[in-house]
Structure 1
């Protein structure tokens, strides 16, 4: 078997064209490193996807499986739900979900069977706008130096008063709470749990009032710092949370005790594993694959014994913290309903996880820790990108009936009316870099695209949550059309929406099922873009900006031409408000004229990524933001209550 046959058999692409037009051909060394990292046999038979309006009827199912002499359909626990022997005796429908099919035709067959809605949830509103906020950067009188979930409620009320449909946030995934300075929301410990740093600890009824008084000087120091002092905030909040937990164990109300118990039951084994993982991580202070046996695998019997040991209180504390985060974020979601916001919260889902984190430990078959998700070279990143994140692999997902992916979606969708899936191109194929290889020496792995979209549709409909795919970069032919067929929305960034000669696309050329915005957290703000500040910053950091100042000046002239000479941000919003796109994202930084972008890709400590606070406290937004100009620009998208 030659190399081209080998790579095809394992779903690895033999070659690809990068964003600069260069052809890369995979070699034997890369193939074997990728295959070894996957640790997999060839993928199972292609998943069978059945799209239907309300579950599949038995007659239809029997017809679709008529090529098999006999078959069984099993649930996630490997229990037989239906077989060819008795299928015609049933008149029920097979509900939306992922199943396992085992059967015999000419040979044995085993495959995932996915029964999915015909389309994802599409929302029940017309053209509206969202306020996009970096929650950590919100200044307020009440927070402890970082925006929190109580601030989020105030932001939602402020946005609702201006006719917004909701508030958009970066990922709220759990990070490593004892490594607070590693603060990128896109490098999570787990996408199944929440970042505890956003808890408003002062709002917990168990926290003694004296705590804030005793720590007033530290709170004021953290509030007045120019950048978020993550280490200081985390230390203070951990002390407060531990004191609240101590009080909770002996002095809480019956209602709160019942709520905590219900949360633990609902999240079940996954929450227990997460809490145990955190205790183990802090015990051994090493990557989980270097832990002693039996902890290198999540063995529930061993973990049950571990829970009864000397770290029992630490484990319960982690569960308490997650419950506090859930309660406060759930209150934000409920507020969205009370305010009649058609979206409420718009949350982001990161493309992968830290290899040393909980998700990679908990789903070792489905997540490849020795492969890092990234991107091949393109015009902006000529050396390629290695994001340092572990992603899903095909065989592992199929073996688990795609539940790890569905669980990730559900973890964010339970709070949101819309979510954005970072790097949605990864549903079709994903670029991976083996450990120790440079970013331009990776390979593409094919993903079961139809099955991934079917999983999206199941969770989207179940949670009544719109799915927006971050489809930037080199998009394959037909990809966006495939997303649209499943009602997955596009994500259109005005900076990139340009045609021949660099002219900006007219408003009418944007798609309807899309979220449109001027920029993103990884790109310059409007003020930074217009002035070329981002180019000067990257040059000072010895990073290729991918664009010259002359090129930027040309782009600014082209934008002014589109806007008939009106160069302000209100004119940009007025233009974007005329697009058919159903959602328009408005960044708070642009309303406040902030020059620096939230994150400069390719930097770690050279730039204060994810640390910069907004220059104006929340209670002064009405004073410093041109409310009248904003309302006029967005007039066609504002619905009065």
Structure 2
């Protein structure tokens, strides 16, 4: 006889205790009830057995007792000025004291408040609660709470105090260029854009009176056995992609003519890749790696500086380099390694490091090179803000972060998006989510280390899909994106860590807050000083496209994003034709054309009404230039122009919801309106680029 399945009432109760959604509103605003099986499988991925009525009821009991079994919550998060209460569990009737140990080593006693709470029997013992109140003048930082008493072992919890509001942006109005760095080429490129191109683009941005350059995530990518082309599905979000190293950088000290000749020969082969109509990351890396290895083994660099860097980065850099060396050794990602190598702390992994010291050190060195180049670029550029980096929402399931973070990652689910107007089948990003419960138990250390690392050498940081700090769409392993549900995070903690590290680094934060939002999400982002994102094609006012004068002030305004076709193609409805070919439409082709054309016509009419067009029937170029002027003169403090729009490119760099067999996502070099590749050195000569940048001045 099969055990009885849990009742819906019990299942919903259990799901609520673990912050798993049982219903939601779809993109049309219609209520959707999540299937029982989906809830059970998501709970299972979180380590909660809800397969039967008995196991679900037992799990409810365990969830209720869990806080009482701990002396304190593992992490307490508060904003500066708040005075939250902290509950300390001790044997009933016993005394306890609480002390805050601050980052500077000083100790602050925490005052106990006169508050009675009934004791509770836990595992045969009567447990009581002592309540303490934190002072509102505790400084921002990552501190500790220390509970001490005769009846308990001394217990520590992490105390995170974040600034009440981030104010790095101030009252500045800034202009930037948004670029997919890898798209850039010139005659001497290695087949892909790299740090040299970023340096040149920042120089051009300065000539156009811009203040920042927003680049795609430059996180370390997956290389073996096949390259992952998407910069939004990296191997690690904490480390950088060595594919982007500039081999002409001053970090390399080449004293031997034979080394120069070898590098020149490899470079000659790489320049042939510049004429290809697709970016071939695997071919580029094969050649760049040969050259970099030659420089490494011939000591063509400052060894003392590298050694200091390696010491400063400590175990994290060693772990990353070990993963990199192991992927090359096995020509596979870690889920396909022999079982004894799947634990980063195993004796086999430690032995591998000792027997492959040079390979591991090589991958440490690569990080030093790109970090040094980023630091030099950051120090020498003339832009007010500098580089705005981009933080991807997740990582590759076979990547280094997935291997190293262990139980902090959820293995039997992936993050994606539910169906919407643009993707009728939803999206599965094939990225393992972080476990919100484990993050709290670990003091949010993985999240802190990640954001601290990505903010190095950044003037600003864009957080892709920042709504993931509130809730994420989880898809159980083996299911489709339509068979998922939302799992809710603690946004106070996630944003608190982010704001604390940004304040320390002096980094402007921009949240990509497009899509279906949880209640009060934008209000909370605004309270914390994070800029939102307003895209002109998506921002609606009263019965018409919103006047940019009414956009949010603390926001990044843009005409388009990397998930949209550039305006030169969009205005010709080429995005509709493309989505029809890819079977992504939610209505008939004629209906889709009519809908999209109506949206374009509404924007044209709004621009006439607002005085930015004399009449709606202007040519495409005139309209694009006027569109940028319209948005640039709006209320938002940050405004970024897409490099694809400057070039007149008509092709989408990415079509959400598709794979590489359907469309060459992230592999198209920058081209002009005629589909001809653009040399970066000629960018300033393009009439369209100059007209748009002139119209975008602030």
TM-score (ref. length: structure 2): 0.82
2:158·2:443 contact (CA, 8 Å) conserved in 1?
Answer: yes
Which runs of structure 2 are paired with 1:423-462 in the superposition (5 Å)?
423-462=465-504
SS at match of 1:201: coil
1:377·1:383 contact (CA, 8 Å) conserved in 2?
Answer: yes
Which runs of structure 2 are paired with 1:230-379 in the superposition (5 Å)?
230-248=281-299, 252=301, 256-289=302-335, 291-299=337-345, 303-309=349-355, 311-336=356-381, 339=382, 341-379=383-421
Quickly say closer, same or farther: Cα 1:472–1:84, change in 2 above 3 A.
closer
Is residue 607 from structure 1 mapped to residue 633 from structure 2 by the alignment?
no
SS at match of 2:277: coil
Quote the Cα distance in structure 1 between the aligned partners of 2:287 and 2:333.
Answer: 26
2:75·2:443 contact (CA, 8 Å) conserved in 1?
Answer: no
SS at match of 1:491: strand
Judge which range, 40-49 or 570-579, deviates more: 40-49
The CA deviation string for residues 587-633 of structure 1, in whole angstroms up to 9 with x for no partner, is 11101111011101122222221111112211111211446523531
Which runs of structure 2 are paired with 1:68-107 in the superposition (5 Å)?
70-72=96-98, 95-97=140-142, 99=144
SS at match of 1:576: helix
2:427·2:656 contact (CA, 8 Å) conserved in 1?
Answer: no
1:288·1:361 contact (CA, 8 Å) conserved in 2?
Answer: yes
Is residue 630 from structure 1 mapped to residue 675 from structure 2 by the alignment?
no
Quote the Cα distance in structure 2 between the aligned partners of 1:537 and 1:75.
Answer: 58
Quote the Cα distance in structure 1 between the aligned partners of 2:403 and 2:109.
Answer: 35
2:225·2:331 contact (CA, 8 Å) conserved in 1?
Answer: no
1:276·1:307 contact (CA, 8 Å) conserved in 2?
Answer: yes
Which runs of structure 2 are paired with 1:474-623 in the superposition (5 Å)?
474-499=516-541, 501=543, 503-544=544-585, 548-564=592-608, 565=616, 567-605=622-660, 606-615=662-671, 616-623=678-685
Quickly say closer, same or farther: Cα 1:82–1:258, change in 2 above 3 A.
farther
TM-score (ref. length: structure 1): 0.89
> Which residue does the alignment assign to 1:407?
449
Alpha-carbon distance, 1:118 to partner: 1.0
SS at match of 2:344: coil
Alpha-carbon distance, 1:93 to partner: 5.2
1:489·1:514 contact (CA, 8 Å) conserved in 2?
Answer: yes
Is residue 197 from structure 1 mapped to residue 243 from structure 2 by the alignment?
yes
> Which residue does the alignment assign to 2:165?
119
Quote the Cα distance in structure 2 between the aligned partners of 1:323 and 1:624.
Answer: 36
Quote the Cα distance in structure 2 between the aligned partners of 1:232 and 1:588.
Answer: 25
Is residue 162 from structure 1 mapped to residue 162 from structure 2 by the alignment?
no
1:351·1:391 contact (CA, 8 Å) conserved in 2?
Answer: no
> Which residue does the alignment assign to 2:117?
none
Q: Pick the structure with greater CA Rg.
A: 2
Alpha-carbon distance, 1:179 to partner: 4.6
Quote the Cα distance in structure 2 between the aligned partners of 1:71 and 1:581.
Answer: 49
Judge which range, 319-328 or 361-370, deviates more: 361-370
Alpha-carbon distance, 1:14 to partner: 1.9
Which runs of structure 2 are paired with 1:147-186 in the superposition (5 Å)?
147-179=193-225, 181-186=227-232
SS at match of 2:493: helix
2:225·2:332 contact (CA, 8 Å) conserved in 1?
Answer: no
Quickly say closer, same or farther: Cα 1:238–1:553, change in 2 above 3 A.
same
Quote the Cα distance in structure 1 between the aligned partners of 2:144 and 2:152.
Answer: 20
Alpha-carbon distance, 1:289 to partner: 4.4
1:46·1:111 contact (CA, 8 Å) conserved in 2?
Answer: yes
Quickly say closer, same or farther: Cα 1:318–1:3, change in 2 above 3 A.
same
SS at match of 1:345: strand
Alpha-carbon distance, 1:115 to partner: 1.0
Alpha-carbon distance, 1:519 to partner: 0.9
Quote the Cα distance in structure 2 between the aligned partners of 1:213 and 1:404.
Answer: 41
Quote the Cα distance in structure 1 between the aligned partners of 2:437 and 2:106.
Answer: 22
The CA deviation string for residues 121-145 of structure 1, in whole angstroms up to 9 with x for no partner, is 4324521210111111111233211
1:128·1:164 contact (CA, 8 Å) conserved in 2?
Answer: yes
How well do the aligned residues superpose, as a CA RMSD in angstroms? 3.2
Judge which range, 433-442 or 608-617, deviates more: 608-617
Instruction: Select the structure with the greater relative contact order (CA < 8 A; seq sep ≥ 6).
Output: 1
SS at match of 1:597: coil
> Which residue does the alignment assign to 2:76?
48
- Structure 2, unpaired ranges of 5+: 1-8, 49-61, 68-72, 90-94, 113-131, 609-615, 672-677
Quickly say closer, same or farther: Cα 1:478–1:85, change in 2 above 3 A.
closer
Quote the Cα distance in structure 2 between the aligned partners of 1:292 and 1:74.
Answer: 45
Quickly say closer, same or farther: Cα 1:541–1:257, change in 2 above 3 A.
same
- Structure 1, unpaired ranges of 5+: none
Which runs of structure 2 are paired with 1:465-476 in the superposition (5 Å)?
465-476=507-518
The CA deviation string for residues 77-134 of structure 1, in whole angstroms up to 9 with x for no partner, is 9x9976669999x999555125466579x99998653211111243245212101111
2:646·2:689 contact (CA, 8 Å) conserved in 1?
Answer: no
Alpha-carbon distance, 1:272 to partner: 0.5
